[in-house]
Structure 1
Amino acid sequence: MSSPMEIVRELTGPGGEFELRDEDVLGARLPVFANRARDLGAVLARSSSYGDRDYVVTASRRLTFADHAAAVASTAKALREDLGVRPGDRVAINAANSPEWIIAFWATIAAGGVAVGYNAWWAPREVEYALGHTEPKLVIADAKRAALTSGTGVPVENVLTVETDVPSLTSRYPGAALDVPDVAADDPAVILYTSGTSGRPKGAVHSHRNLTSVIEYHRFNDALARASGDPAGPSSRRYLLALPLFHIACLHNLAVPRLATGTAVIMHEGGFDVDEVLRLIEKEGVTNWGAVPTMAHRMVEHGDLSRYDVSSLTAFSLATAPSSPAFKERLRAVFPPAKDALVDSYGLTESCTGVSVATPADLAESPGTLGRPTLGVQLEIRDPDDRPVPAGVEGEVCTRSAYNMVGYWRDPDATARAVGTDRWLHTGDIGMLDERGRLRLTTRRSDLIIRGGENVYPAEVENVLAEHPGVRECIVLGVAHPDLGQEVAAVVGVAAAPPSPGSSSPPPSPEELTDYARERLAYFKVPTRWHITTDPLPRNATGKVLRRQIESSLP
């Protein structure tokens, strides 16, 4: 048998199925997959050939590839002819996971629209901002979020419900043919939001090239496994989808590529529940699961997991948030699929897929590593002058590939800061490469808090708290949490209590501030630890709050 490096060269070299060659991408020469699909519409059209295979399976429903193609064709025709969706129009999806979410996504693509995934945990104020920011032609939402949308006061031409309207659209035009408008490779296909350091979410724009490149990367991994002796092909694998579809982990790297490979997506609906998820794995013979550390923590703490047969699970990965080597060892001890199959990775919304991946061998040799760059990814560590530094030297993680986003929606300044004309993405994360080219992070995006896999930027929370009339100054920090990884803590400076009753309002209490934040922020951004003080926050000579000093002195 050929060595792994020889197999990669054969697959990606000239004439190979996954040939990589340099092409112009938005003004820069980048390695791209020569045989990728022209656009997502072409991927969708091919998917009907998988016929009666399972595409999306839940605890109570099954949607075959043929069913899905028919539902999408009918819905896309209704979007175009009845609802006036034109190429380039944005269609927002604001809903919990369901098969209808996926149908709505692909129908938007088939109609020539741009699918915008709203964070289903957003508070009304965040939804209001996104509606004004992306100006969707229509919103597709579950009943709970449809009411939220209508209550924002932002005019939306149509708000369709997942429960009633989408099923109606899927059957409105039986026998409809797919008629996908022509698009250019770098035209927008998807917008997903990432929290903004300036206090506003930013819409990362992902093109058809971005998504079809991600698809080829996953197809390459399937081919590499097959060429390396793995007898299981894509048609026999079954992938668990237990993270929100408005994240790249489950949309770009699961639902989308599995439509291209004819592979089943086993969808868990509702909040994460250890017993329900393991029951679903056992029932459906799930083979692959990408989890976040919070899910893994809950399994570790759940107790005896042996009553569930999870022997079908041969691939298990952790993503979206860092986890310590010590925790990985505890996980391996109680969850057999993690023992020999655990992998770790590093990526961000802007990169569309993993920037680097650590194999079980990498983790065994170098605990804490995030592995080597993904196929087609160029990775450098750069100093403050934007110059590459050698192995072992800390600096900003910068990456370039055909996967990287086009830019931020309607935010040229933020785009210019993040992605230069040379298409290098500056992540803001700090790390280093070891002598074998493996990445290790030392700081995640400045002061980013990662709570249960969700990104929380302190500036956004601080801006909300600062609007409270009783808050003089504040700072928001991430503190360790045994289940979530981190929880959100706020140190709030207030005026001294009034000398006599009635002279002025008393300082706000933690309960008052919690309620205030909860009305304006998604629940995961609301601080759960409060320290209210009348002392000024410590600052340096330039007036900047000394975050680390406060962090070390938190009670």
Structure 2
Amino acid sequence: MAEASMQQTGSSKEKIWLNSYPPGVPAEISPLAYQSIDAFFDHAVARYSWRPAFTCMGKSLTFADLNAYSGRIGAWLQSLGLEKGDRVAVMLPNILQNPVIVYGILRAGYTVVNINPLYTPRELEHQLVDAGAKAIFVLENFAHTVEQVVARTEVKHVVVATMGDMLGVKGLLVNLVVRRVKKLVPAWSIPGHVSFKAVLAKSAALTLRKPNVALGDVAFLQYTGGTTGVSKGAALTHANLLSNMAQMEIWLNTAFLRKPRPESLTFMCALPLYHIFALTVNSLMGLALGGNNILIPNPRDIPAFVKELGKHRTNIFPGLNTLFNALMNNPEFQKLDFSSLILTFGGGMAVQRPVAERWLQMTGCPIHEGYGLSETSPVATANRLDTDEFTGTIGIPLPSTEVQVRGDDGQTLPVGEIGEICIRGPQVMAGYWQRPDETARAISPDGFFRTGDVGFMNAAGLVKIVDRKKDMILVSGFNVFPNEIEEVVVTHPGILECAAIGVADPHSGEAVKLFVVRKDQDLTEEDVKRHCAENLTNYKRPKFVEFRPELPKSNVGKILRKDLRG
């Protein structure tokens, strides 16, 4: 009876997406092969020992190197007397020390607290105090921030790294340029700190003890929610991350139906490793597939990034809409050879159709959009990777993942109806760190995580996000979604980027305000409004247009509408 009524209503409780799976992809992942990330790491090292695992600024670390260096970091941390499960913070950009330290922390039985190096002292203090971090690894460029707050935290051990620490003789020159020429290291003083090189030297005689880590132990605290309120730590267990890796590996393998898999894979890692997207899709998946991750310390320097791209035959390129757009507007990028590119994976924000179409035309490789959050380790849905089609959706749920679209009353809505996207699966976090109240609000009694994203599922099981709840604009009683406006606006050839927000209006309650970055400097407000009038119904059209030289973005390149609201 229950089955019949579900069929009748066409609710998103049915796993209708399974009918859209590529041939041979199972509905569920197999039981996990490893009990911890440490055990998975050991397997990867044994299998791919002499292959390069990470490359940065011309220097590579093999899997064997990564094993040796991370083992020394882990042994040194254990020598401090830290207890299993203690939190260790990492405040580093994409440099070789990052994976060495992160895997060292995990292998020693501790929990990694990833921190954005560009945090202000206030943001850093909140995160260190909330996590109860006992130690921190920081690049010297950001040590002045740690200096301002460390006394008010539980941090007892500060390790300071330099850009050139793992680059051999070349590292001396790199450090000279960073400190003296570019002046990127503000003065700092942290009594009792230890240098990264000293840690490696001291740990040479130490032996890493294998900790007894279980699948339910917390591997990472990924802080999130800073754009909506107080930043909270998503507690991601070893099981969460190993599950998402298993799901991703099944899905990634279908990309090789389009183009054969080379003997060894090269990943482009332009997204920061402290962000959940790069952590899983680049770092962990790179290890799982025996790939080499090319670390880009500063992807905002587009000319330097393009030069680096030209040195490698990249196979897998995860990125954001804004990054793809910026690259395509660089003349040198357009001259590169893209014949080795197998998969371009878009996430973090909506990929706009004009960007996707131009990327396919320029590189011959489609952008396949996926979706996830820090709370889902991160990938929950993805488009099929065995086709060139750009669906304009976030795809279908991965194996062992359920997506339901629910109304405000918590009931599952019929297919095609708009509501909150909710996710259940083995990759969903254990909860928010020491926030049972927030956890109860975020995860329903039946285990579905409430994403706060508004969307619908179509009859093929494809999920379309229409917007964040908080970003919705209410114009004279009509719901207006910024994503829709922005996707239309960027089709104008004179517009580089844009963002839409709601502003108070005495007549309609709210009106649409559009911020525009020009590609054509002669573009006028009238041009923009004419374009919108041709493509959007009246209540969706921007009432106000403001030109800006650039738009505020997070460190991973997501446009921050909240900063535009002021």
Q: In which range does the TM-score fall when normalised by the shorter chain?
A: 0.7 to 0.9
Q: TM-score, normalised by structure 2?
A: 0.72
Q: In 2, distance between residues paired with 1:523 and 1:344?
A: 15
Q: 1:443-493, CA deviations, whole angstroms, 9 ceiling, x for partnerless residues? A: 124239999xxxx9x9xxxxxxxxxxxxxxxx9x99544499xxxxxxxxx
1:416 and 2:416 equivalent?
A: no
Quote the RMSD (CA, aligned, Å): 3.3
**CA distance 1:367–1:222, change in 2 (3 Å):** closer
Counterpart mapping for 1:309-348 below 5 A: 309-333=337-361, 335-338=362-365, 341-348=366-373
1:380 and 2:410 equivalent?
A: no
1:168 and 2:193 equivalent?
A: no
Unaligned 5+ residue runs, structure 1? 13-19, 21-31, 459-474, 485-516, 532-555
Counterpart mapping for 1:529-540 below 5 A: none
- 1:54 aligned residue (52, 58, 80): 52
Q: In 2, distance between residues paired with 1:124 and 1:375?
A: 41
Q: In 2, distance between residues paired with 1:229 and 1:323?
A: 21
Q: In 2, distance between residues paired with 1:177 and 1:158?
A: 20
Q: Which residue of 2 aligns with 1:189?
A: 219
Counterpart amino acid of residue 301 in structure 1: N
Q: 1:283-310, CA deviations, whole angstroms, 9 ceiling, x for partnerless residues? A: 1211110111111121232235333223
- 1:273 aligned residue (301, 306, 312): 301
Q: In 2, distance between residues paired with 1:231 and 1:331?
A: 21
Q: Offset of 1:118 from its aligned partner? A: 1.0
**CA distance 1:197–1:95, change in 2 (3 Å):** closer
Q: 1:533-555, CA deviations, whole angstroms, 9 ceiling, x for partnerless residues? A: xxxxxxxxxxxxxxxxxxxxxxx
Q: Which residue of 2 aligns with 1:507?
A: none
Contact 1:427 1:445 in 2 (8 A): no
1:8 and 2:37 equivalent?
A: no
Q: Offset of 1:527 from its aligned partner? A: 7.6
Unaligned 5+ residue runs, structure 2? 1-19, 166-194, 473-481, 487-498, 502-509, 520-551
**CA distance 1:265–1:399, change in 2 (3 Å):** same
1:142 and 2:135 equivalent?
A: no
**CA distance 1:402–1:200, change in 2 (3 Å):** same
Q: Which residue of 1 aligns with 2:536?
A: none
**Helix, strand or coil: the match of 1:8?**
coil
Q: Which residue of 1 aligns with 2:261?
A: 232
Contact 2:32 2:242 in 1 (8 A): no
**Helix, strand or coil: the match of 1:240?**
strand
**CA distance 1:482–1:401, change in 2 (3 Å):** farther
Counterpart mapping for 1:208-247 below 5 A: 208-225=238-255, 228=257, 231-232=260-261, 235-247=263-275
Contact 2:455 2:464 in 1 (8 A): yes
**CA distance 1:481–1:239, change in 2 (3 Å):** farther
Q: Which residue of 2 aligns with 1:487?
A: none
Contact 1:123 1:523 in 2 (8 A): no
Q: Which residue of 1 aligns with 2:461?
A: 437
Q: In 2, distance between residues paired with 1:426 and 1:363?
A: 31
Q: How many residue pairs end up in the alignment?
A: 446
Counterpart amino acid of residue 295 in structure 2: M
**Helix, strand or coil: the match of 1:415?**
helix
Contact 1:75 1:166 in 2 (8 A): no
Contact 2:454 2:465 in 1 (8 A): yes
Contact 2:87 2:131 in 1 (8 A): yes
Q: Which residue of 1 aligns with 2:429?
A: 405
Identity %: 24
**CA distance 1:527–1:38, change in 2 (3 Å):** closer
Q: In 1, distance between residues paired with 2:405 and 2:217?
A: 30
Counterpart mapping for 1:491-530 below 5 A: none
Q: In 2, distance between residues paired with 1:379 and 1:362?
A: 22
Q: Which residue of 2 aligns with 1:470?
A: none
**CA distance 1:101–1:110, change in 2 (3 Å):** same
Contact 2:255 2:386 in 1 (8 A): no
Please say which of residues 106-115 and 298-307 is displaced more in the overlay: 298-307
**CA distance 1:170–1:216, change in 2 (3 Å):** farther
**Helix, strand or coil: the match of 1:116?**
strand
Contact 2:299 2:305 in 1 (8 A): no
Contact 2:321 2:355 in 1 (8 A): no
**Helix, strand or coil: the match of 2:230?**
coil
Q: Offset of 1:162 from its aligned partner? A: 2.0
Q: Which residue of 2 aligns with 1:512?
A: none
Q: Which residue of 2 aligns with 1:359?
A: 384
Q: In 2, distance between residues paired with 1:213 and 1:54?
A: 25
